[in-house]
Amino acid sequence: MSGWRTAGGVLLAVLTAGCAAQVQQSRPVAVEEPAQDAPVTASPTTSVPVPPAQPAISVASIVDGRSVMLADGSKAEVSGLAQPGPCWADAATGFARSMLLNQQVRYDRATGALSLTDGTDYALLALGNGAGRTTGTPSPAQKEAEAAAQRVPMGLWGPPCGGKDATETPAPPPPPPAPAPTTTTKPPAPPRPKPVFYANCDEARRAGAAPLHWGQPGYRIELDPNRNGIACESRYR
């Protein structure tokens, strides 16, 4: 129909438009299917990279309780372990020598972790045996290993170190008091004999001193004519 002559025509026009819309909606929609030979791609997923395993290498020598020299000439310093103190340095070095020398280990230079070929972490092994102490920001496992050695106590936590890097040196005993000064008195010298002079031998005889020998008081060479060392000899000799 054409034209808008009557209300009925308008109604017919609306109905016609409604039928056309229903026909348009009932038409099938074509859906493209993938070709039979097209490859099917999986949706991308997020994957965590796995670090490569460290190659095993032999320990050539022991530097101290936390450092070793590897077979390639490089130095490996275990992270998480403090520099050994003077009191327990020898014990820590001995422990490292018994566990690592000439053994195959794996050392991660990025983290400083050193482990045995069976996966044992050397830092935990040393801490748990009192052969090391933690430093920096230790991991919970390192704290627990250190606490276990402290509870025993074991290694550096026991005597003589008692957890200290250096033992306290006892103060030296005070020096003995100085002996009191002693005054030594010399014995008095014997009194010198008074000088004796005899004018002649008769005087010496009267004094009872004759004969006079050389060195005796009163001896004079003049009283000893024969010069035999005896003055005022007996006149009857």
Q: In this structure, are residues 99 and 122 in contact, taking their beta carbons and an 8 Å threshold?
A: yes
In tens, the pLDDT along 80-101 reads: 999 999 999 999 999 999 999 9
**Ranges of each domain in the chain:** 57-157, 201-231
In tens, the pLDDT along 27-52 reads: 444 444 445 444 444 444 455 554 55
pLDDT of residue 111: 93
User: Would you say the pTM of this structure is higher than 0.85?
Assistant: no
- We find that the CATH architecture of domain 57-157 is Beta Barrel (2.40)
The dihedral built from the CA positions of residue 15, 17, 19 and 21, taken in this order, carries a sign that is negative
Measured distance CA(84)–CA(130) in Å, rounded = 11
- pLDDT above 90 covers a percentage of the chain that reads 45
DSSP string, 127-140: HHTTS--B-SS--H
